[in-house]
Amino acid sequence: MTTFIPQIEKLSSRIIRVLGCNPGMMTLQGTNTYVVGTGRKRILVDTGEDKKPEYISNLKKVLKDSGSTLQEILITHWHHDHTGGIVDVIRELQLDTDNVKVSKFPRNPILEEKIDDERIQYNYLKDGDVVKTEGATLKAVYTPGHTDDHMVLFLEEENAVLTGDCILGEGTTVFEDLFTYMQSLQKLMGFSPTILYPGHGPIVNEAMVKIQMYIDHRNMRERQIVDVLTKNDKPMESMEIVKIMYADVGEHLHMAANENVCHHLSKLVKENKIIQLKEGVVSKWNANL
């Protein structure tokens, strides 16, 4: 069960969360977008999906009620549930794209990225870049793993981090690269934040406990995989491992779980803890006893 999140909520003197109105299996209650700052110009972090008129009218209301307009849009990563709304936001809020930048990190390796409307180009950030507005100083921190272009934003005034999909308010996240993902979690720890504003799910008030939980969770999954393979005398396919490890989880989540298990498997092979065997196109794994 997921926690109820209102469509609009003021979370602090400088942060208003506007829910993307795109609930779903992977997006939980929907994407959290954040209006950041205290002055007449604010920063929007992430834009939700396209064709969400309810989101656009909520965003308009927040800006109108606070007497502000958007200074800049920051995007945590390329996934559609964070970038899909860019064109709608720009069009519906009548933003002047010569002055309002849409910023993110480049893909790695660099990949040409197009926003649906070709008049809009991304402005690319570098690790450590600082974006300021009245009442808020955001430091862009490169945290790949969930995606190759992922960034989190360290909000100096609150010792808080806007975590995108690196850490979620509920459950755990998926990733493309486990090794860099674990490094990014360590990088987050380095900031010793007290609050996390995640890309999905409720605000996290015990930030360090949550980050440590994420690290422990991955380590636990890794031990489970080695354990399952050790107990089985025959080599196993990844989905067979998933069915044992995720027996208590709905089958509709097994595909996503399988992806994570495969990432663990390749990391474990690299570390020589397990062995990969190929039978034609099928890969199987065995414990390295």
State how far the Cα of 192 lies from the Cα of 98, in Å rounded to an integer.
37
Q: Among 42-50, 55-63, 194-202, 261-269, which window interacts with Zn ion (CB under 5 A)?
A: 194-202
* Shortest spacing between CB 101 and Zn ion, in angstroms: 21
Q: Which residues, including other chains, have CB under 8 Å from residue 192's CB and lie 6 or more apart?
A: 159, 208
Strand partners, 122: 102
Q: How many other CB atoms are found less than 10 A from the CB of residue 108?
A: 14
**Range 207-266, binding Zn ion (CB under 5 A):** none
Phi-psi region of 195 (alpha: psi -120 to 50; beta: other; left: phi over 0): beta
Give the nearest distance from C-beta 284 to Zn ion in angstroms: 32
Q: Which is nearer to Zn ion, 175 or 285 (CB)?
A: 175
Distance in Å, CB of 82 to Zn ion, minimum: 6
The length of the chain is 289
Scanning 116-124, 132-140, 159-167, 207-215 for contacts with Zn ion by CB under 5 A, the matching segment is 159-167
**Would you say 174 or 226 has its CB closer to Zn ion?**
174
In a 13 Å sphere around the CA of 88, the CA atoms on its Cβ side amount to 20
Q: How many CA atoms lie within 13 A of 37 on its CB side?
A: 22
Q: Is residue 165 at the binding interface for Zn ion, with CB under 5 A as the rule?
A: yes
Residue closer to Zn ion by CB (options 81, 88) is 81
Residues binding Zn ion: number (CB under 5 A): 3
Q: Minimal distance in Å, beta carbon 109 to Zn ion?
A: 22
Answer for which of 46, 72, 81, 177 binds Zn ion (CB under 5 A) is: 81
Instruction: Give the other-Cβ count within 10 Å of 19's Cβ.
Output: 22
CB of 12 to Zn ion, least distance (A): 22
| Three-state secondary structure call for residue 209 | helix
List of residues contacting Zn ion (CB under 5 A): 81, 165, 199
